[in-house]
A = this chain, B = another copy of it.
Amino acid sequence: MESGQAKILDCTIRDGGLVNNWDFSIDFVRDLYRSLNEAGVDYMEIGYKNSPKLLKGQDAGPWRFLDESFLRDVIPQKGNTKLSALVDIGRVDENDILPRSESMLDLIRVACYIKDVDKALELVAKFHNLGYETSLNIMALSHVMEHDLIDAFEEINKSPVDIVYIVDSYGSLNHRDIKYLVSKFQRMLPDKTLGIHAHNNLQLAFSNTLVAYERGVQFLDASVFGMGRAAGNCNTELLVSHLKNPKYDVRPILDVIEKRMIPLREQVEWGYIIPYMLTGVFNEHPRIAMALRASEDKDKYVEFYDKLTSPETAMASKGGD
């Protein structure tokens, strides 16, 4: 499939915020919105809509706890690029959510682990009733057992959720895994639109996104210059360059990389970095690699590898998740 059905969702601010504690200036976010809009990108995920009352992190930038009146100041004039926000189970105050007709947001995405799909779908139903487009993002699919996924599919089919995401949280999947998951999701969720959110631990985020797209997955997550937690995401500039749709134009994205992302990358890091590669290889959460990179031992790869592969440490790490 090389159709015009694909939608690019840029999550630079939301997933990239995990790298810099959402410390993006208003000008940065305005520039990014303008660039994405000119580039024809379909959605911009402008942050989390979690509640500061339910979550630590008051030192974080405003994109972690989006506020409607603040958003209206940031983007006084919306273009064709829609806005989305992510919420986490147990961290969102439903009373914070306006009806869509009064909101800057078009799409609310609910992220959860497999055990919380029921809670996530309850939230989805509320946002759906408020008029929003909705998605369910089941994280860490590479750690989910088959029968749990099948149970979840039954619940999802009863829900009004519009989009269901295949999320490669640990960046451990390759094209064969993606083909397998896409075909399973399509078979089990015939009436849902599918999405993919890839991480770049093994330099496979763009490739996996293309493979999913060619098999009919419509919502493609990406971030500018790949900015996202740890190894980062599929690069928006690669998707915009590749997809055959005259509305997409990479030039405005190059502008924001040149002016905004290159200076930012000098201050904070993301991307293909060996400890993240290794958590991808071992299908683990990157948190231990993130801790390593924040320490003086950040480039002691062999020591880190030995820790990852020693039976004691490996078991402790699995047990903790």
In this complex, which of A207, A211, A250 has the most chain B Cβ atoms within 10 angstroms of its Cβ?
A207
Q: Is the CB of A238 within 8 A of B299?
A: no
**A305 to chain B: which residues have CB within 8 Å?**
250-251, 254
Q: Is the CB of B254 within 8 A of A210?
A: no
**A210 to chain B: which residues have CB within 8 Å?**
174-175
Copies in the complex: 2
Q: Is the CB of A258 within 8 A of B301?
A: yes
Identify whether the interface residues of A are mostly helix, strand, loop, or mixed.
Answer: helix
Q: Is the CB of A203 within 8 A of B235?
A: yes
A302 with B255, Cβ < 8 A, contacts A207-B204, A237-B274, A281-B241 known: yes
Q: Is the CB of B211 within 8 A of A175?
A: yes
What is the distance, in angstroms, from A157's C-beta to the closest C-beta of chain B?
32
- The verdict on A202 contacting chain B, using a C-beta distance below 8 Å, is yes
In this complex, which of A214, A255, A274, A299 has the most chain B Cβ atoms within 10 angstroms of its Cβ?
A274
- The verdict on A270 contacting chain B, using a C-beta distance below 8 Å, is no
- The verdict on A262 contacting chain B, using a C-beta distance below 8 Å, is yes
A257 with B207, Cβ < 8 A, contacts A202-B238, A238-B202, A277-B237 known: no
What is the distance, in angstroms, from A233's C-beta to the closest C-beta of chain B?
11
What is the distance, in angstroms, from A101's C-beta to the closest C-beta of chain B?
38
- The verdict on A206 contacting chain B, using a C-beta distance below 8 Å, is yes
What is the distance, in angstroms, from A165's C-beta to the closest C-beta of chain B?
21
Q: Which residues of A contact B (CB under 8 A)?
A: 174-176, 200, 202-207, 210-211, 214, 235, 237-238, 241-242, 250-251, 254-255, 257-258, 262, 271-272, 274, 277-278, 281, 299-302, 305-306
The 7 A-B pairs of least Cβ separation, nearest first, read: A207-B207, A254-B301, A258-B301, A241-B281, A203-B206, A255-B302, A254-B302
